[in-house]
Amino acid sequence: MKVKIEVELSPEEARSFLGLPDLSSVHQAFVDQARGKIEDAAGLVDIAPLVKTWTGLGGMAQDVVGSFLSAAMNTKPSRASSAPPTDASETGTDKAGKS
């Protein structure tokens, strides 16, 4: 004989049913403190020395790498540019495969 019981509970309801303490305020305090430390540490990082180390070619290479990094951080990749053409008129060939 098989007996199957299904119970739908939220995590909070399950914790209270099992007698576990509510640690949501402790969790939120931990997350807030961790976020503050990460933001403080991010402000201390200076990327200029890293770029100078990676580019041994001088100022022009630093400008190129800097512009590349800023462009990469400010734009999202486009899916349309990587999609293959689906229409014969887009490939430059007719239905017989001639150009």
Higher pLDDT, 65 or 57: 65
Domain membership of residue 8 (yes or no) is no
Residue type for position 18: L
Asked whether residue 37 is assigned to any structural domain, the reply reads no
Range of the domain at 65: 46-74
Number of domains forming the structure of the chain: 1
pLDDT number for residue 30: 95
- Residues 85 and 91 sit within 8 Å (Cβ to Cβ): yes
Q: Is residue 1 part of a domain?
A: no
Residue 27 lies in a domain: no
Q: Inform me whether the pLDDT recorded for 31 exceeds 90.
A: yes
Strands (E), 9-82: none
Residue 63 inside a domain? The answer is: yes
In-domain check, residue 53: yes
**pLDDT value at residue 35:** 93
Is residue 24 domain-resident?
Answer: no
For residue 79, being part of any structural domain is answered with no
Q: What percent of the chain has pLDDT over 90?
A: 24
**Model confidence pTM above 0.85:** no
Q: What is the pLDDT of residues 43-61, one digit of tens each?
A: 777 777 776 776 666 666 6
